[in-house]
């Protein structure tokens, strides 16, 4: 019922003291690396166990740096991905927690990580079932995706996630446009593992889009 993968990246600012920057950045890199393994390389019980441990780590990340938007963003990403791995109605509680975390990030700094909270929240709204089961809402998803693009017009993740949404909505022409932008973004040195898998997903979805456009 609910499946989502997300891969977003960190942009550090210069407003934090050097010691805080070092500790926060090291913790975040560790979470990002473990997330890529759990999300893309593990399956079934091993994946659930990995996300269980990672959700505890991301919760501690928020506790240690409660005033930084990026900690809430990545906690939301972990919880959303955990929900996707778990699946079914049992995942709805995790999805709601992810929503709360991402909304907290927006309340702190909507520009953090190039507006990544907007894209992550948009994906939640597009993937979660709507009322009366869940909070899913395609209109809200569309609005949030456009807000995300305003911050990161050429980013791999925002464009892929929006392209996936447009494909599901049947807007194949615009979906192709977004996916081509995502494909052109290439692979970042700092997120190589996640981006390699993301590029595979982009190619696979582009093939489906092209097939639809040929009909």
Q: Where are the domains of the chain?
A: 18-213
Task: Check: CB of residue 80 under 8 Å from CB of residue 103.
Answer: no
pLDDT greater at residue 196 or residue 10 = 196
* Residue 3 confidence (pLDDT) above 70: no
Residue-wise pLDDT tens digits, 171-187: 999 999 999 999 999 99
* Residue 16 confidence (pLDDT) above 70: no
CB atoms within 10 A of CB 193: 16
Which pLDDT value is given to residue 20?
43
Element (H, E) at 82: helix 69-86
Average pLDDT over residues 38-48: 97
Which pLDDT value is given to residue 19?
37
**Euclidean distance between CA atoms 61 and 12, whole angstroms:** 16
Task: Check: CB of residue 2 under 8 Å from CB of residue 128.
Answer: yes
Average pLDDT over residues 35-47: 96
* Residue 2 confidence (pLDDT) above 50: no
Which pLDDT value is given to residue 22?
58
Domain 18-213 sits in CATH 1.25.40.920: yes
Which pLDDT value is given to residue 205?
98
Q: How confident is the model at residue 15 (pLDDT cuts 50, 70, 90)?
A: very low
Average pLDDT over residues 75-80: 98
Residue-wise pLDDT tens digits, 80-139: 999 999 998 789 999 999 999 999 999 999 999 999 999 999 999 999 999 999 999 999
Taking CA atoms, 203 is separated from 91, 120, 176, 210, in Å, by: 28, 21, 11, 10
Which pLDDT value is given to residue 114?
92
**Euclidean distance between CA atoms 108 and 23, whole angstroms:** 20
Taking CA atoms, 116 is separated from 30, 32, 46, 93, 153, in Å, by: 18, 14, 28, 22, 11
């Amino acid at each position: 019922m609910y499946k989502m993968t997300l891969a977003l990246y960190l942009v550090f600012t210069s407003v934090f003291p050097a010691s805080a920057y070092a500790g926060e950045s090291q913790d975040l890199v560790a979470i990002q690396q473990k997330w890529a393994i759990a999300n893309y390389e593990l399956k079934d019980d091993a994946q659930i166990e990995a996300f269980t441990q990672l959700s505890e780590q991301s919760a501690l990340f928020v506790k240690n740096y409660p005033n930084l938007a990026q900690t809430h963003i990545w906690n939301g990403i972990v919880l959303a991905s955990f929900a996707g791995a778990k699946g079914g109605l049992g995942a709805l509680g995790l999805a709601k927690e992810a929503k709360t975390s991402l909304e907290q990030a927006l309340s702190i700094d909507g520009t953090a990580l190039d507006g990544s909270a907007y894209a992550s929240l948009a994906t939640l709204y597009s993937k979660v079932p709507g009322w009366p089961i869940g909070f899913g809402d395609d209109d809200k998803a569309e609005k949030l995706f456009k807000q995300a693009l305003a911050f990161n017009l050429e980013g791999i993740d925002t464009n892929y996630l929006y392209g996936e949404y447009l494909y599901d909505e049947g807007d194949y022409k615009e979906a192709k446009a977004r996916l081509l932008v995502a494909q052109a973004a290439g692979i970042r040195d700092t997120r190589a593992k996640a981006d390699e898998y993301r590029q595979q997903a982009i190619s696979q979805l582009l093939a489906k889009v092209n097939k639809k456009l040929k009909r």
